Amino acid sequence: MNRRCPTLALVVPCYNEQDALPRTLNMIAALLKDLQSEGRISSESFALYVDDGSRDATWELVGAAHAGSPQSCRGLKFAGNAGHQNALYAGLLQVCAMVDCAISLDADLQDDLAAIRPMLAHFAEGCDIVYGVRNDRSSDSFLKRNTAHVFYKCMEVLGVKLIPDHADFRLTSRPVLEALASYSEHNLFLRGIFPSMGFRSATVGYTRLARQAGESKYPFRRMLSFALSGITAFSPMPLRLAGILSVGTLLLALLESLRALLTYFAGGTVVGWTSLMIALLLLGSVQLFCLAVIGEYMARMFTEMKRRPRYLIEKIL
């Protein structure tokens, strides 16, 4: 593996990015040319665009760029939409045997391309994973910024190792990619997988840029689903919390029953409707919550047990 002048692949998942892609194709092609002329990467380096079942002209744009420069621009097309994490995973495995390292980044180029040079410098010094970490989240909305902080705190409490303010902008070496191929779960959460591997790592700070075209593919609903996937993929703690909560409510119910019995034998009048309704609502809500947590884990297990392919590749350029 050549660390001083490595063969690099830029892996770019794309979903309905026809508005942003022309600019992205040009900027990445120019970046590869500059890095090659500076002697930072080999002439065999390239960019791989993974079309995650787009319904617009994304694939046609990738095909036209590939026709003009087949070595530096390559493409992989899914038969249908399989999700960002699967598109990223497929792209990384596709380039694994061809490169010394790969860098994943978003098609909207909100990940600053200027951070790639320091990433390569860390790789040359022996790091196998280099995380792109946002310097601040001032460009985010109030809701997104605060929900992100809550998410990282929750994951920390649940014992999941994450890199705060890191998304999927990272450099990974070939040994890391080879190790990634052994992860067979369908419930992919790459932001949790890479820190858990234990390879030598470093971070590079950058300022996330504004989206130049198109719209965000991560509205609040998808962000919430993604966070839930991360929790259920790496932590059994919610199941344990459900059990603890159940024991706690059982103790409360026993204490309330004891109080009611003592009041009855003392000749007092037991208030019926209010205490009964409170007990029923409390126990019922806890039971439903515990069932929901268990059901979420069982749904993930059901998906894993079917062993269906994560994605189907339709075309490769």
| Per-residue model confidence as pLDDT tens digits over 268-306 | 655 665 567 667 767 777 777 777 777 777 777 776 776
Q: Is residue 116 a contact partner of residue 103, using CB atoms and an 8 Å limit?
A: yes
Give the tens place of pLDDT for each residue, 202-241. Answer: 999 998 877 666 565 555 566 666 666 666 666 667 777 7
Q: Please give the DSSP secondary-structure letter assigned to residue 18.
A: T
The model's confidence at residue 95, banded by pLDDT at 50, 70 and 90, is very high
- Tell me the whole-structure pTM to 2 decimals: 0.76
Mean pLDDT of the chain: 83
pLDDT band at 264 (very low <50, low <70, confident <90, very high): low
Residue of higher predicted confidence among 256 and 182: 182
Q: What is the CA radius of gyration of the chain?
A: 25
What average pLDDT does this structure show over 84-97? Answer: 94
pLDDT in tens, 31-67: 999 999 999 999 999 999 999 999 999 999 999 999 9
Would you state the pLDDT for residue 273? 58
More confident residue, 43 or 149: 43
Interval 119-123 mean pLDDT: 97
On whether the CB atoms of residues 35 and 45 are closer than 8 A, the answer is: yes
Long-range CB contact pairs, 293-296, < 8 A, 24+: 293/238, 293/239, 293/241, 293/242, 294/239, 294/242, 296/228, 296/232, 296/238
pLDDT of residue 189: 83
Q: Model confidence at 4, in pLDDT bands (50, 70, 90)?
A: confident
**317 or 225: which carries more pLDDT confidence?**
317
Q: What angle do CA 152, 24, 178 make, to 5 degrees?
A: 55
Question: Reduced to 3 DSSP states, what percent helix, strand and coil does the chain have, rounded to the nearest 5?
Answer: 50, 15, 35
Q: Is the torsion defined by CA of 142, 145, 147, 149 positive or negative? A: negative
| Cα torsion 243, 249, 253, 259: sign | positive
Mean per-residue pLDDT, 105-130: 94
Model confidence band, residue 173 (pLDDT cutoffs 50, 70, 90): very high
φ/ψ (deg, to 5) at 166: -110, 135
